[in-house]
Amino acid sequence: MPFSRLGLSDPIVRAVAELGYTEPTPIQLQAIPAVLSGGDLLAGAQTGTGKTAGFTLPILQRLSTTAPAQPNARPGIRALILTPTRELAAQVEENVRDYSRHLKLTSMVMFGGVGMNPQVDRLKKRVDILVACPGRLLDHLSQGTMDLNSVEILVLDEADRMLDMGFVHDIKKVLAKLPPKRQNLLFSATFSDEIRALADRLLDHPALIEVAPRNATADRVRQQVYRVDRERKRDLLSHLIQEHNWQQVLVFTRTKHGANRLAEKLEKDGIPSAAIHGNKSQSARTKALAGFKSGELQVLVATDIAARGIDISELPHVVNFELPNVPEDYVHRIGRTGRAGAEGEAISLVCVDENKLLVDIEKLIRRPLPSSQVPGFEVDPRIQAEPIPNGRNAPRGGGGGGGRSGGGQPRSGGGQGSHHGGPGAPRAPSATPRPAGQGQARTPKKPTSRHH
């Protein structure tokens, strides 16, 4: 099914063709007709599925073919896309610009950590589509430098991440500033109770669509665990990179400090590396990302939150220097490799502290991961497990038994984590679903019950 058959106009079809998209991805096939129909949408999809075009293309179609709802003297913002991170905001707005290159619509990106004044100046001109992080948006709203009275379409992108990052109150404040009559689109990779509560509050008889995370268990991603002692992980990683001459390695660490220390160690070993996380300035992050994409940097070390929304895909190697506290993050991480038919490899360096995290991941992906040791880096059986700070290397709930004491299940990341309550498999909220436009959408699967 080509893009032109989905009800998109020629300038939009031309733009995606110029970007080399030959056919819609599964989420696009479902989301585009649903959004064009004008109703609300709840979509389970994560980065890498093509979700951004899934909501942007039909928004462009709607905005370019209808007059503003409130034809003011000065046209206001017609579509608002909220994202959790600056990187994602920048990337989404770049996509909006790419897809609207043959249209007369204008867009703007807005996030904190940079000066307000250039944004205030930009807001004086026409902005049809605003891509924003909630905090800075509220700053502008409270200073009266903009309003949201003309918004016709609201998108919450990566809503689960926004809640994880503590944005729930900010989101509610933004919602209160929007006109009541509007189209709402909520995208989330996972469906916790919190997300379902938000969906119930926000969405009116939403169409429900869900796509499987790409590569979640894709055969073309070779997954491998190397058992190693925690103190020897850095040396092992250097060894693996040099021994196999890996280029373009994305390495995930659990903490910002750990990311810095690792990048410094790799640099010392002669492997060009940089760390990217929330404490880095925007310009440092942009520079690191550009260096990594161009091949100047061999290794990019990232925390989960910083890596969200970074448009780097089809990587040959993803390394979990530490396993994530939340098993769904493992799937997000390895989804960076092996895209679009390319072969990929996801390596996890696992020490004795992380046994429980590994079991949780294997339960989620429903298969054991092959595990071995690298000669010269064999584990010392005398080393005992230590609780992972903020981790959950102890069994959850009452049922497990026989576990070490550990830290419950809060997320780490950004230092402002909140509970990530639900299972990975998207669940429908209790809002009554309505059939999506043109029968393309389908209802998410029943929750799979997983016991931790």
Minimum distance, C-beta of residue 3 to ligand AMP, in the bound complex (Å):
8
Residues contacting ligand AMP: total by CB under 6 A: 13
* Other beta carbons less than 10 A from residue 125's beta carbon: 9
**CA distances from residue 452 to 12, 71, 447 in whole angstroms, order as listed:** 46, 54, 15
Give me the phi and psi of 320, to 5 degrees please. -90, 100
Q: Does 50 bind ligand AMP (CB under 6 A)?
A: yes
**How far apart are CB 127 and ligand AMP at their closest, in Å?**
21
> What is the number of other CB atoms lying within 10 angstroms of the CB of residue 314?
15
CB of 312 to ligand AMP, least distance (A): 9
100 scored as a contact of ligand AMP (CB under 6 A)? no
Pairing of β 79-82 and β 153-156: parallel
Residue of the chain from 33, 39, 44, 48 that contacts ligand AMP (CB under 6 A): 48
Rounded distance, CA 194 to CA 192, Å?
5
Of 18-26, 66-74, 263-271, 299-307: span binding ligand AMP (CB under 6 A): 18-26
Burial of 144 (0-12, 13-18, 19+ CB in 10 A): exposed
Q: For residue 329, what is the DSSP state?
A: H
Q: Rule CB under 6 A: is residue 49 a binding residue for ligand AMP?
A: yes
Judged by CB under 6 A, the residue of 37, 47, 83, 348 near ligand AMP is 47
| 382 DSSP assignment | T
Q: Considering beta carbons, is residue 21 or 226 the nearer one to ligand AMP?
A: 21
414 lies in the binding site for ligand AMP (CB under 6 A) = no
Q: Are 168 and 135 in contact (CB under 8 A)?
A: no
Residue 215 binds ligand AMP (CB under 6 A) = no
Of 253, 284, 297, 294, nearest to 388 by C-alpha is 253
255: amino acid identity, one letter: T
Between 56 and 325, name the residue whose CB sits nearer to ligand AMP: 56
Q: Does 83 bind ligand AMP (CB under 6 A)?
A: no
Query: Between 341 and 376, whose beta carbon lies closer to ligand AMP?
Result: 341
* In contact, 26 and 211? CB cutoff 8 Å: yes
Sign of CA dihedral 261, 265, 270, 271: negative
Q: Interface with ligand AMP includes 44 (CB under 6 A)?
A: no
Q: How far is the CB of 244 from ligand AMP (least distance, A)?
A: 26
Which of positions 290-329 make contact with ligand AMP (CB under 6 A)?
311, 313
Give least dist CB 121 to ligand AMP, A: 29
Report d(CA 160, CA 173) in Å as an integer: 17
Per rule CB under 6 A, is residue 188 in the interface with ligand AMP? no
Q: Tokens 């064999």: give the residue.
A: 378
Nearest to 38 by CA among 12, 65, 20: 65
**Binding segment toward ligand AMP, per CB under 6 A, in 46-54, 135-143, 350-358, 418-426:** 46-54
With binding defined as CB under 6 A, does residue 338 bind ligand AMP? Answer: no
Q: Is 233 in the site for ligand AMP (CB under 6 A)?
A: no
> Smaller CB distance to ligand AMP: residue 48 or 338?
48
- The binder of ligand AMP chosen from 8, 24, 195, 302 (CB under 6 A): 24
Find the binder of ligand AMP among 35, 37, 39, 51 (CB under 6 A): 51
Write down the least CB distance from residue 197 to ligand AMP, Å: 25
> Minimum distance from CB of 51 to ligand AMP (Å)?
5
- The distance from CA 124 to its chain's CA centroid, rounded to whole angstroms, is 31
Cβ distance to ligand AMP smaller for residue 52 or 83: 52
Determine the Cα–Cα distance for residues 15 and 11; give it in Å rounded to an integer: 6
Under a CB-based contact definition with an 8 Å cutoff, are residues 298 and 271 in contact? Answer: yes
Of 30, 52, 215, 253, the residue at the interface with ligand AMP (CB under 6 A) is: 52
Q: Which stretch binds ligand AMP (CB under 6 A): 50-58, 229-237, 326-334, 432-440?
A: 50-58
CA distances to 104, 124, 334, 349, 376 from 361, in Å? 46, 49, 12, 14, 27
Complex with ligand AMP: residue 83 or 390, whichever CB lies closer: 83
Q: Please identify, using beta-carbon distances, which residue of 53 and 105 lies nearer to ligand AMP.
A: 53
Q: How far is the CB of 429 from ligand AMP (least distance, A)?
A: 22
* Contact call for residues 40 and 185 (beta carbons, < 8 A): yes
d(CA 36, CA 45): 18
Residue with structure tokens 């360096």?
349
Cβ distance to ligand AMP smaller for residue 175 or 310: 310
Give the contacts of 145 (CB within 8 A, at least 6 positions apart): 116, 119, 120, 123
- Binder of ligand AMP out of 13, 32, 53, 208 (CB under 6 A): 53
Q: Which is nearer to ligand AMP, 47 or 412 (CB)?
A: 47
Q: From the CB of 123, what's the least distance to ligand AMP, in Å?
A: 26
Q: Helix count (H) and strand count (E) of the chain?
A: 15, 14
Please report, as ranges, the residues that interact with ligand AMP according to CB under 6 A.
21, 24-25, 28, 47-53, 311, 313
